[in-house]
């Protein structure tokens, strides 16, 4: 579906920035909505969707346990 969204989970990406999570969320909402940039009357709901997807993505990444991945320094 969204081929330009890169894998963000370890070990593919050991450290994920907020910008990377937000970029993935934006790509997803663009794909689902069919809008690259929404019209002014859709901007609020579009931005809210990006925020919600970014939050869900971060919760997912924070909760994943990847077998064989070395623990991050902050996890030790």
Give 13-35 pLDDT, tens digit per residue. Answer: 778 899 999 999 999 999 999 99
| Domain-located, residue 17 | yes
| Domain-located, residue 29 | yes
| Domain-located, residue 75 | no
pTM over 0.85: no
| Dihedral (CA of 42, 47, 50, 52) sign | negative
**Tell me, what DSSP letter sits at residue 71?**
P
DSSP for 6-65 reads PP-STTTSSS--HHHHHHHHHHHHHHHH--SS--GGGHHHHHHHHHHHHHHHHHHHHH--
Q: Which domain holds residue 3?
A: 1-62
| Domain-located, residue 20 | yes
| Domain-located, residue 28 | yes
pLDDT in the model for residue 11: 73
What's the domain count of the chain? 1
| Domain-located, residue 68 | no
| Percent of the chain residues topping a pLDDT of 70 | 82
């Amino acid at each position: 579906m969204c081929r330009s969204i890169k894998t963000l989970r370890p070990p593919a990406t050991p450290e994920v920035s907020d910008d990377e999570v937000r970029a993935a969320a934006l790509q997803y909402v663009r794909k689902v909505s069919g809008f690259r940039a929404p019209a002014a009357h859709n901007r609020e709901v579009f931005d809210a969707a990006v925020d919600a997807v970014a939050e869900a993505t971060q919760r997912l990444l924070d909760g994943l346990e990847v077998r064989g991945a070395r623990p991050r320094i902050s996890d030790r």
